[in-house]
Structure 1
Amino acid sequence: MVEESSESHVPGYVRPGHALRHVAGERRAWLPVALSMFTVAWGGNEFTPLLVLYRQAGEFSPVFVDLMLVAYAIGVAVGLLVTGPLTDRYGRRPIMLPAPVLAVLASVIIALAEHTAGWMTVGRFLSGLAVGMAMTGGGSWVKELSAPLFDPKAGPSSGAKRASMALTAGFAVGPAVAGVLAQWLPWPGQLSFGVHVVLSLVLVPLLLTIPETRQPAIHAKRRSVLDSLRVPSLRNPRFYAVVLPIAPWVFGSGFTAYATLSARMQDHVAHPLAFSGAITLLTLGVGFAIQQAAPAIAGTGGPRGPVVAMVATIAGFVGAVAVVLNPSVPVMLVACVFLGLSYGLCVYTGLSEVQRMAAPNELGALTGIFYCFTYTGMAFPALLTRLSDWFSYPLMLGFGAVVATIVLGVVSVTGRRF
């Protein structure tokens, strides 16, 4: 919720609600921002089913194919850590408006660099950078536009739910479309990126109609750049005791499903590219659906949200062990349902916790830090591939289930204490 601060007494300050009152009365002002977040997430994750294509082509080593996920994650981390403080200082529009354009540039580079490792890495980095910008600038913008001042029907959890669902929908639909196009239509390494470019360019004009919800000139005068990098909300012990333990499982669960398990199943299905896209859609589709009920599940604090999220995580990793021991489509589907529940509950719970504890002028920065920790989970596939020379997949995924059980024990205690 956008709160009235001391800046409201500065001459020339215009309350955001006044600027948007006519917008809120005519349409949902948050929706164009959420749609642009959707397209940026689409571009970020449509690459996932194509990992099967790159493995089949044999031009890149298996480790390099997985490391392209890491290049993407590094781009996301840079975007989150740099643009989080900047969006609090300069406003939401300057950070969010370039994000879909940068995502388009990334798609063009990746489509043209199908056989070039260096340019492929650059494209993946830029794609991640765009996603990081959308998460901080776009997520904060959606949160502020979801306040009752702008949207009378919005509840306390509306901002977190809308932001996380916009990203989840993009992460799910993008790879599903890419998998189908790459499996059955020409130009498998280019066509899906072309679709993303067209979709993004169609939706960008809608984003231009939404006014700023922050007052960047006011904040620039009252806070130095160095002050913008400081995030006093990080002193909240609940961030370390509850939020951080569940953060890596957001994408750790997701990418275990549609990167690691899909790779283990590609020799057991007739259409591996389409299957990979379908698995991504299933996993993140479940994650999207559970976020509808997540506010009721997680409540407004306490241990329930983190505990339920980690129970789903444990079940998902146990299911992953069953898949690699007995490659079976039905077993795979069940495992992916639980991994999708883990993704959806972990991302909603963490984001809602962050939005409750962040001061208004620290929302972007703290959101960026949280998302940065979620993306550490994207290193799971590359790590498992690298360690597979020494350890079996059942052993490594079983170890993941054990670690998730330990985290469950931790958050069940700290969720009550802090």
Structure 2
Amino acid sequence: MPETQRMPEPRQAAPKPAVTLSPAAHSPGALSPVTLSPGAWRAVAAAMFAAGWGGNQFTPLLLMYRRLGGYSALSVDAFLGAYVVGLVPGLLLAGPVSDRRGRRPVLVAGTVASAVASLVLCFGGHSAWPIYAGRLITGFAVGIAMSVGSSWVKELSSGTDGGLAARRAALCQTAGFGLGAGIAGVLAQWGPWPMVSPYAVHILLTAAIPVLLLRVPETRPARAGGSVRELLGALADDLRVPAPARRRFRLVVLPMAPWVFGAAGLAYAVTPQLVGFRVGDWGLAYATGLTVLTLGTGVAVQPVARWLHSGKRNGAAGDRAAGSRTGRAPIAAMAVMLLGAALCAANAVLLSPWLAAVTAAALGAGYGIAVVSGLLEIQRMAGPDDLAGLTGVYYMLAYAGFLLPTVLAGLSSWLSYPVMLAAVAAAALVCLGLVVTGARVTEPTTPAR
């Protein structure tokens, strides 16, 4: 019997019971049970937090790069686009690879990459190429953290309700996004070496996390290797939505997912540039405040998303009651998104810093509900062998929305922002209609256990 499975001595008593994952919880390649302590997920959450910090620390610095670096609006929005380009392989490949080679080595590599990206960005003060390279690597690291980290947190949270695992993953990532942006913005506005010090803080924050990850139990032991062709085929299988869930995926998840980070892009990439001239020298601090407000609201409403999803705040009873109620969270998310997009379009005409703050809060609420409800949808659809892969697909769709500021900037030579943002609000209305229809005509799918 493995050492981790021995019965404790009668005089010993653990403060909380450990959870044992049997080989049945894994693929056929799993060799032995794994005993998990109740806090095993925390180091993984720290890695997600640090990756989120690195991913969003750049966002409030857009105005700084325009003023101090001399970059155009299109250039700084293109820096965001480079981030999304890096995300795609991180999201699509890291999850399936971790299904076959283990969660730990992939997430350790992603955490190291996040620190390396900040190091590269330190050299981007007067040259665009380190910024493009750093943002590309940052995107890759965040993609790994989101797909592999979310799946590992769920597996390490075995024994709790599924909604708690989704909230843990979303909360840690969102908290990293918010605090990273907040600290970076403060340092850039008032600290020394504004183009270096924000990244130095992230490097220090990340330094110890790979060591902590080495102590986390592996929940997906490495499988025996196969040919490259077999591996590519297996990776493709992991990215395929299970047949019973495809209709719901198309009608509920697909129309909602791009708005997760589309809302974020509107709130703290588009809005500050529209109203920045109204706040003068406080533009960078104002942009930082909008970013923190958006993500802080997203954190605050995440428990509401779980309640909307299940009809209960906690417990298995809520999961059993979910049934047809699970459509409420995506519908609520898109309704709030529509409100935020409409406010953003109105403020493109009014250009009010105060209305911009209200808009950021609304878009943040839509973001918070959407990111949790989307993860819950994916966890219901996916089986244990394709959880990380489908999580990566979901986040890839979500991050496609982060290209919205770049698209708007590229079209601004031909169309005004009020016109473009009115079209964005109309698109949100269409997506709301699709989600309402999909939630009514499809039933939630529970993955095989």
Asked whether the equivalents of residues 245 and 407 of structure 1 are also in contact (C-alpha less than 8 Å), the reply is: yes
Q: In structure 1, which of residues 201, 208, 223 is the aligned counterpart of residue 207 of structure 2?
A: 201
The two structures have a TM-score, normalised by structure 2, of 0.86
Alpha-carbon separation, structure 2, partners of 1:186 and 1:103? 23
Alpha-carbon separation, structure 2, partners of 1:288 and 1:165? 6
Instruction: Indicate whether 1:181 and 2:187 are aligned.
Output: yes
Residue 143 (structure 1) aligns with: 154
Amino-acid identity (%): 39
Q: 3-state DSSP class of the match of 1:189?
A: coil
Asked whether the equivalents of residues 61 and 184 of structure 2 are also in contact (C-alpha less than 8 Å), the reply is: yes
Alpha-carbon separation, structure 2, partners of 1:117 and 1:412? 43
Alpha-carbon separation, structure 1, partners of 2:368 and 2:53? 17
Residue 86 (structure 1) aligns with: 97
Q: In structure 2, which of residues 317, 332, 346 is the aligned counterpart of residue 322 of structure 1?
A: 346
Residue 3 (structure 2) aligns with: none
User: Measured at CA, do residues 213 and 275 of structure 1 come closer, stay the same or move farther in structure 2, by a change above 3 Å?
Assistant: same
Asked whether the equivalents of residues 89 and 228 of structure 1 are also in contact (C-alpha less than 8 Å), the reply is: no
Instruction: Indicate whether 1:343 and 2:367 are aligned.
Output: yes
Residue 49 (structure 2) aligns with: 38
Asked whether the equivalents of residues 75 and 128 of structure 1 are also in contact (C-alpha less than 8 Å), the reply is: yes
Residue 334 (structure 2) aligns with: 310
Question: Runs of at least 4 residues of structure 1 off by over 4 A?
Answer: 1-12, 218-221
What is the letter of the counterpart of residue 99 of structure 2? Answer: D
The equivalences for 1:106-185 within 5 A come to 106-148=117-159, 154-185=160-191
Q: Deviations over 1:241-260 (max 9, x none)?
A: 11011011001000101000
Q: In structure 1, which of residues 208, 211, 214 is the aligned counterpart of residue 220 of structure 2?
A: 214
Q: Deviations over 1:263-307 (max 9, x none)?
A: 112211141111111110000110011112211012245321111
Alpha-carbon separation, structure 2, partners of 1:31 and 1:111? 29
Q: In structure 1, which of residues 75, 90, 104 is the aligned counterpart of residue 115 of structure 2?
A: 104
Asked whether the equivalents of residues 26 and 220 of structure 2 are also in contact (C-alpha less than 8 Å), the reply is: no
Structure 2 alignment gaps of length 5 or more: 1-18, 311-321, 443-449
Per the TM alignment, residue 238 of structure 1 is displaced from its structure 2 partner at its CA by 1.1
What is the letter of the counterpart of residue 184 of structure 2? Answer: A
User: Measured at CA, do residues 416 and 2 of structure 1 come closer, stay the same or move farther in structure 2, by a change above 3 Å?
Assistant: farther
Per the TM alignment, residue 6 of structure 1 is displaced from its structure 2 partner at its CA by 5.0
Q: In structure 2, which of residues 238, 241, 259 is the aligned counterpart of residue 233 of structure 1?
A: 241
CA RMSD of aligned residues (A): 2.1
Instruction: Indicate whether 1:68 and 2:74 are aligned.
Output: no
Q: Which has the larger radius of gyration?
A: 2
Alpha-carbon separation, structure 1, partners of 2:433 and 2:40? 41
Asked whether the equivalents of residues 44 and 127 of structure 1 are also in contact (C-alpha less than 8 Å), the reply is: yes
Q: 3-state DSSP class of the match of 1:188?
A: coil
What is the letter of the counterpart of residue 33 of structure 2? Answer: R
Q: Deviations over 1:387-407 (max 9, x none)?
A: 111111111111111111111
Per the TM alignment, residue 205 of structure 1 is displaced from its structure 2 partner at its CA by 2.6
Structure 1 alignment gaps of length 5 or more: 149-153
Per the TM alignment, residue 7 of structure 1 is displaced from its structure 2 partner at its CA by 7.9
Q: 3-state DSSP class of the match of 2:404?
A: helix
The two structures have a TM-score, normalised by structure 1, of 0.92
